Amino acid sequence: MANKTEKASSIIKEFSRFAKAYDKYNIIQSEVAKTLVSQLPSSTYRTIIDIGAGSGKVYQNLIEHNIVFERFIALDSSSEMLALHPEEKCMEKVCADFNLPETFEALNSKEETLLLSSSALQWSRDLDVTLSQLSRLSDTAFFAIFTSNTFKTLHQVAGLDSPIYSIEALKKAIDTYYEASYEIRQYKLHFGSVHEMFRYIKKSGVSGGEKRLGYKETKVLMKQYPLDYLEFEVLFVNAKKI
């Protein structure tokens, strides 16, 4: 099993490799971004920082919801993904890894800042370190984080542990730095065939680059998987800095 550093590198590589196909396959991530933005309490902000901005689903939803802001910072570790992100005069694109403390030094803002992150923080190498850094950027944050119950049946059939955090681990880390309210949402994505399902896993980036089954094991899993859908679980977080 990959150590934490290798795991983070594989995530960046996987998203970069399939960047051009990502918008075709990120159905659930798009819905998650839409829900996250719909929960914002105000329509006007000075500065918004999007951690793990990807191809810009959060930004697009902000525009669709008529959210007004003076400055927008889109941070992502993949330059290929950021290349797909919309560009505006008020926007700054930052290609950097949120796992590295030095990333946040350049993001410090004296202005009132809203911190957003959709479908990204589940890939933090060390959630405590990441949240410690994030909490210094803003007093207010809204997160949407996939939990270990994503692909629950798939992992059970394969005999694998999820590579991402459980709800309990997420809440414990978040509660260290924020007073937060939580909402859990489950999603199902149906497929016409098992082959189509596994193609989605590969090209959507939801596996985070985790590749722990060989060819023969994958063939067996495809035969044994009992569902015609994949399961997803997302923890939505409304957080205020302690």
At 60-100, the pLDDT tens digits run 999 999 999 999 999 999 999 999 999 999 999 999 999 99
pLDDT at 8 over 70: no
Q: With cut-offs at 50, 70 and 90, classify the pLDDT of residue 191.
A: confident
Q: Which two tokens stand for residue 143?
A: 């997160």
Comparing 11-20, 90-99, 169-178, 216-225, the range with the smallest average pLDDT is 11-20
Contact 145, 122 (CB under 8 A): yes
Report the helix count and the strand count for the chain, using DSSP H and E.
11, 7
**Beta-ladder partners of 113:** 47
Q: With cut-offs at 50, 70 and 90, classify the pLDDT of residue 236.
A: very high
Taking residues 46-67, what's their average pLDDT? Answer: 97
What is the pLDDT, as a whole number, of residue 1?
A: 36
Q: What are phi and psi of 102, to 5 degrees?
A: -65, -20
pTM, rounded to two decimals: 0.87
pLDDT at 24 over 70: no
Q: Which two tokens stand for residue 24?
A: 């075709």
Residues whose CB falls within 8 Å of the CB of residue 139, separated by 6 or more in sequence, listed in order: 240, 241
What is the pLDDT, as a whole number, of residue 16?
A: 43
Strands 178-190 and 229-241: antiparallel
Mean pLDDT of the chain: 87
At 106-148, the pLDDT tens digits run 787 667 899 999 999 999 999 999 999 999 999 999 999 999 9
Euclidean distance between CA atoms 181 and 198, whole angstroms: 34
